[in-house]
Structure 1
Amino acid sequence: MKTKALFIGILLLFPFAPGQAQLNEIDSLKAVLQTSGKDTTRVNTLVALGSRIFRSQPEEALAYSNEAIELSISLDFPKGQAYALKNIGLAYFVKGNYDKVLDYWERSLAIFQSIDDQLGVGNLLNNIGAVYFNQGNDPKALEYYLESLRVSEKLGDKLRIATALTNIGAVYFNDPANHDKARDYYLRAVGISEETGDLEAIGTSLVNLGEIYLEREQLDSALYYFQKSIEALDISGGDPYPSYAYALNNIGKVYAARGDYQEALKFHTQAYQAAKSVEAKREMALSLTGLGNVNLALARRDNGGVSLAKALSYFEDAFREAQSGDLKPEMEKAALGLYLVYKEQKNYPEALKYHEIYENTKDALLNEDRIKSIALLGAEYEFEKEKQQLEYELEAKLRRQRSVQYATAAGLLVALVLIVILVQYYRLKRIRATEKFEAQRQLIMQDKLASLGQITAGIAHEIKNPLNFVTNFAEGSVDLGNELVEVIADNEDKLPPGQYELLLGLAADLSQNAKDIRDNGIRADRVVKRMMEQARGDKGEPQKVDINTLIEENIHLAYHGYRANAPGFNIDIEKSYDPSLPPVEVIPQDLGRVILNIFHNACYALHEKQEQNGAAFHAAIRVSTETQKGKAVIRLRDNGPGIPEKVREKIFQPFFTTKPAGTGNTGLGLSISHDLIVIGHQGELEVNSEPGEYTEFVIRLPLNRPQ
């Protein structure tokens, strides 16, 4: 799984007066402190001071908060003690000492719960979730965020509802399969923040939305949201919030993706300076990693040793910052950067060391149980809300029923008739409500089953990482083998008779073997990538692709997928690809699904004919591509049983199928394939067949895709 570093809005819970007004407020509070006695007014003043200076002066904030705790205990003022404990946690949060943060915030939460201060409870639940999020424990973070959302919704506290929605979206963003769900939470948060006029919350949600488009490589949309985020945060005034640094850093990522490295360096540097000014370790580590990535890109482009040395320095600083704050997602990114730099320098021991750190950190952040926990927590939250709504409706109906019964007590006969009618009516209503409840439970179970597709994508991703490792080191081995051949050739006169040819041959064999491993690793990587795309079911964006390569990958997947259930089944596949076919703009996932479906249907038909005719029948499929009249033409022809004319007339209709019941066929495959080609690509899909002889599907796609 791709772990993304997304700004978490923990500090959105604590408003600050802008600029000079805040300084005046601090001076006023200090003046009140000079004249106050040992009472609750002094406690409240100490708490107010601590909440306003914990970022800029954490040590002084700790002193004020500790005094507030001692005074609150002596005055038996638990609310003041709870807020002071919260402020101490904030000061340690700035320092990156998460163990102490959790200790103080859990103590604060316990006091708020004991005095039934639900506003404080919702606040602390969100803050504790933020700590777990920054430590990479997404399931635990989501648990606290959802509970904070429940409490805040009961209170009608829009400020904290928006904060909780933003943070829940951040958790879902860490899983690429849940990006749409993350976007929905961010948009809900923006809508609520606009109602409250909370510009910092709006800025935070906008930068999060921009991250989704950055991940999808929609750079213009991403830049738009990042710039809007900066505008909102600028208007809000006050301290340079961590989200401000985060937005600047993401603008740097956009320019880096565009290849404008000088602009990227400028924004990453501004981001680091903004983060440094408030000692935001997470944003400092991210900015340093961004600077490292840009310098690494410059080194690769210009073969520059200076840029490579700068990249190494930035990644080392980023790793130290992340390590000191126990920020595992940022440690993962910095370790990956160090691995890439050392690999460029051919310092393979150090490269291997940081690759292991990267893999271990990534494995700690992502595993199957973690994905399941996040999915189940989200499903349970939605399920609980529906259940509460149903219970509320049932209770309301029962109250109305009792009112009707009491109102009709004067007329016994009439009342009895009405009671019988009402009892029967509400009995049926309750049965229907129970049936609805059960249907919703089944839908949730289906959603859990659907998550198996996500797990499949996760497994494919886990295969991809060691595969990339093998491929990369095979590449290095090819270079080493070639260097060995040169060394042997240079020392021919120093070798005993007969040893030169032997060593030269062995070295050449080693180099060739490494090249074969690399080439097959690249091929396997393409297959794994297709598995991930199919499992996740992403809609995808149009892009120029090599049609021949796309077809080859998908028929390979379809054939071996079918043979997994029919091991003894074999087909002769004849391929005739037009090498002059130019790249065509298509949605690769959609076209891949069409090829998979048609090829799978062909395998099914050939398998049936083979079982009927025995060994005398040789199953064969011919796949070809060509260019005709400004269109790319794809043909898939099998020598199966063919399709009768009456069946061909209905073959693209939804839910039409000739396969027997119980085979798991819905009759939607060819209907969806037809829509994907004709509507989705403005192309053509037709079928030709001779019963008993062959079936041929022909796909025609415009070389220049209409807009």
Structure 2
Amino acid sequence: MRQFKLYSYIFLFFVFPLLLRAEENPFWQEPTKVQADSLKQLLISSKNDTIRMLTNRQLGLYYQEISRPIALAHFEELLKLARQLKQKLWEAEGLSRIGYVSGLMQNYSTGLKSLLLAKEIASDDRIQKDIWNVNLFSGERDPHLARLKVLANINEHLGLLYYFTGDYNMSLEYHNKCLSLNEKLKDDAFLSLIHQNIGESYIGLKQFEMAIPSLKKALFYSLKSGYAKYRGLIYLDIGRIKEDNLNYADAKKYYHTCVQTSTQLESTDYVGMAYLALADLERKTGAIDSSLIFAENAVNIYRFMNDSVGLADAYLAFSSAFDLINLTDSAYFYLKKGITLKTILNKEQHVNKFQTIGFDEQIRLQALEAKQMRTQSRTRTFALVSGIIVLLLIIFIFHRNNKRQKKDKAQIEKAYSELKSTQSQLIQSEKMASLGELTAGIAHEIQNPLNFVNNFSEVSNELIVEVEEERAKNPESRDENQVSEILSDIKQNLEKINHHGKRAADIVKGMLQHSRTSSGVKEPTDINALADEYLRLAYHGLRAKDKSFNADFKTDFDETLPKINVIPQDIGRVLLNLINNAFYAVQAPPPPEGGIKDPNYVHKPTVIVKTSYLPPSGGTRGACLVGVSDNGPGIPDSIKDKIFQPFFTTKPTGQGTGLGLSLSYDIVKAHGGEIRVETKPALAGSDGEGVGSEFTILLPIY
């Protein structure tokens, strides 16, 4: 249990919020395309099964209305990991998602089997213990409500499965069960889905007067909760009712709203459905050119999705539009393609009808079997528990203390092991984040020596041509002195090319050292060169990242400072963090509260990096001092004592992890050094002089 809590706290507070939208109910949050790309990278790099389990769930949600085979693969991996981790509620969630996507893919028997198994698991209140990441399912972190949320969602998916097979009355029964469960959950996002599904079931029954109120409620709760994934489909359903009532103008408006909304929400399937509806509507009103355009859009979308059902309808819409303008060949071509797909689908529909006939009987038999198994299981459990209780009462007297100590020891060791593993992952993540910030600066620094190499290469080529021309002359007219001078120039150029090539190689080597896991081996290092390199890389990186970035930097290096034994990758990371923080701070001028007494004061953001050498004296070792100072607003006294604490940050959400100074502190301490901060916040009446902060690193010289 402690293991799951440890991963839950770390991942939920520092990784998970970056991957989800800012909606209030995390159960319904689905990633955008950009976030999905980040999740794919996380899935590749993470070795933590709980994180992989959650990541597969989120990627499945992203793909379920875009590419259902991909979504199904992610949900199957979610199920596999949940079973490995013995997370029963997550297992039920995985089965429920598999059931829903299988229904969308017309594999109804697999969908039913998965959903019934999910319902059996979620109906057992014993799974409420040791739920990992319970706040995903319940904002109140209530295990009981978390189980009810999954159970309600399973019932919703069962209702949709009946809707897919055309049994709208049974679909309504399940959605009404969801309404009852939601009285306890009080989930507005779920309420939006329930009313939408009820409205669609009424549309299937041709009871439009009943469908409209439900769809309006669905739209109301979608706007209230902020859950917008299926909002486009609501507009599409309302548009169909308007079209059925011959209100073509309003129908067209709702269809276009569906296209716009679903495109923004990356709900590709509903964009295709809206284009088909628009193609049919334009054909009815005689706008054949528009009908052809919308039908073509639908064909492209369903080809991209590899959705044969939608593609068949799009081909037939194309054919109908071509037929109205007497383009017989085109009409026949697309009619043939549509009929071919429809023929294949009709075969599948025959199978689906056969499966549908057995739905009620399968449910009844499986429910009866499940009830019998639960009764037998309870009887066996009662007998077993009774015997165990008697046995435990005897054992308890003799072994209570011993068992408790062993259990506590095992839990502590396990928690410590997991903590070390998580710490290593966080350190590596922070290091790679800083490498990302360096990328633009590295590109800028490499460009300079490359320009020199290119220029000297071009000049050398021209000089070689001159030598060849001179050598081609007769010995009598050849100027050997000029040839020697040209060859000397070529040699100098080659030396310069070699010099600048080595400079570029050194920059790349430094980047590779920064990204590589530290070997822990100290080596003699020129601190002046290291500080100068990271200062320039950080500055150019920020300039490339933010065109509005404007700051100056200065250096004051002690040339008498000898090389010292340090781990260059680690100290470089410390310097990069302090320099980046300084550049971040100087962008904000001293606070105006109370005013600046000098009206001519102009804030000039400046960062200063300096070093100094403290030679040995009085039996003490020599030391190296590295200072990074800025003229920003300073650090308030109220937080000064907290800045080296892990995960403490004053930056806006998403711009800082709060690990930089904490890791820097640990690295300096591991080198036997110290890191101090001196700060002077701007005060009322000051003239702007002397404000800002200075971080000083003291490293002993052995």
Instruction: State the TM-score, normalizing by the size of structure 2.
Output: 0.46
Which structure has more helix as a fraction of its residues?
1
